[in-house]
Amino acid sequence: MVVHLLAAIMALVWGLWTLPAGPAWAAEEGSTVEGSGYSLFDTESIKGFDEKKVEKDPVCDRSKRPRIIKVEPDEAKPGERVVIKGENFGTKECLQSVTFSAASGTNIEYKYVNESTIEATVPDAKAGMSFVIVVSGGGSAQSKPVLIKAK
């Protein structure tokens, strides 16, 4: 058994030693590989740098995880507004989404007020307990349960 295992290992090693060096296209005459970038794949390379665009891009602080302190009121019907109070929601551009666990996948209408306040409309969801989830540049936060009342 050991002899067969050693023979298999030797055959594998010998097979690797006998492979041609590098990929087949590298051996073609006239091909340039080093520094080819996207030109190797007939794709135009990214050109230039737009400083004005970079200045407008938001800088989201990934080190500050958002935290929901409270949702007021903690009982609401679909269509009513709730105020989400917390910290580290970031800038308006860094706030990515607000969702309710009872209506996952539903687009929620919300308004960024400031780094610690968001107003959201309760979605049309089945009555019962739900969590509010806020996602920003620093991560996500989940509230204590909120009661969604029947219409």
- The string over 72-83, giving b where at least 16 C-beta atoms fall within 10 Å of a residue's C-beta and e elsewhere, is eeeebebeeebe
pLDDT exceeds 70 at position 40: no
Longest dimension (CA), the chain: 77
Model-level pTM?
A: 0.63
Residue span of the structural domain in which 87 resides: 67-148
Asked whether residue 55 is assigned to any structural domain, the reply reads: no
Give the CATH number, domain containing residue 134: 2.60.40.10
Which pLDDT score, from 0 to 100, does residue 71 have?
98
Residue 46 is assigned to a structural domain of this protein: no
* Of the candidate ranges 21-35, 37-51, 110-124, the one whose mean pLDDT is the lowest: 21-35
Q: Is residue 1 part of a domain?
A: no
Q: Is 104 helix (H, G, I), strand (E, B) or coil?
A: coil
Exposed, middle or buried: residue 136 (CB in 10 Å: 0-12, 13-18, 19+)? buried
Domain count, the chain: 1
User: Could you tell me if residue 125 is inside a domain?
Assistant: yes
Domain membership flag for residue 27: no
pLDDT higher at 49 or 89: 89
For residues 43-61, give the mean pLDDT. 66
Q: Is the pLDDT of residue 31 over 90?
A: no
Q: Are strands 75-76 and 146-148 parallel, antiparallel or unpaired?
A: parallel
Question: For residue 84, is pLDDT > 80?
Answer: yes
Residue 137 covered by a domain: yes
Kindly state whether residue 98 falls inside one of the protein's structural domains: yes
- Taking 80 as the threshold, does the pLDDT of residue 149 lie above it? yes
pLDDT of amino acid 11: 59
Q: Which of 77, 67, 61 is nearest to 137 (CA)?
A: 61
State residue 99's pLDDT score.
96
Does the residue 123 lie in any domain?
yes
